[in-house]
């Protein structure tokens, strides 16, 4: 019966072993990078704006969206433009 290695022995043995690392495929990597950067046309030249709110406020916002058949994106655009007007700025959202 063989004795099990303890963790320290296993790690030291693994760190001294030489492993062959497969060469990367540059064509595949390029395609992967292109896939990650693709965005829908509606998001071209746009940036995300994330905010944190009470769960009840989010639920209420979503319910208004259901009631009015509007997306959260549309409602937030309207809200942002209303805020800009309130502050004397142009509606650019």
pLDDT digits (tens, 9 = 90+) for 18-49: 666 667 776 666 666 566 667 888 888 899 99
Q: How many whole angstroms separate alpha carbon 24 and alpha carbon 26?
A: 6
Hey, where are the domains in the chain? 50-93
Check whether 56 has a pLDDT greater than 80: yes
Check whether 72 has a pLDDT greater than 90: yes
Q: How many whole angstroms separate alpha carbon 28 and alpha carbon 3?
A: 44
**pTM as predicted:** 0.57
**pLDDT (0 to 100) of residue 5:** 74
pLDDT over 70 for what percent of the chain? 74
**pLDDT (0 to 100) of residue 12:** 77
């Amino acid at each position: 019966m063989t004795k099990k290695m303890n963790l320290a022995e296993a790690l030291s043995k693994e760190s001294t072993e030489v492993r062959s690392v497969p060469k990367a495929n540059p064509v595949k990597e390029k395609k992967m990078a292109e896939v990650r950067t693709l965005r829908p046309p509606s998001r071209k030249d746009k940036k995300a704006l994330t905010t944190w709110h009470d769960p009840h406020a989010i639920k209420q916002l979503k319910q208004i969206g259901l009631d009015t058949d509007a997306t959260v994106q549309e409602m937030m655009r309207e809200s942002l433009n209303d805020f800009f007007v309130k502050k004397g700025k142009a509606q650019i959202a």
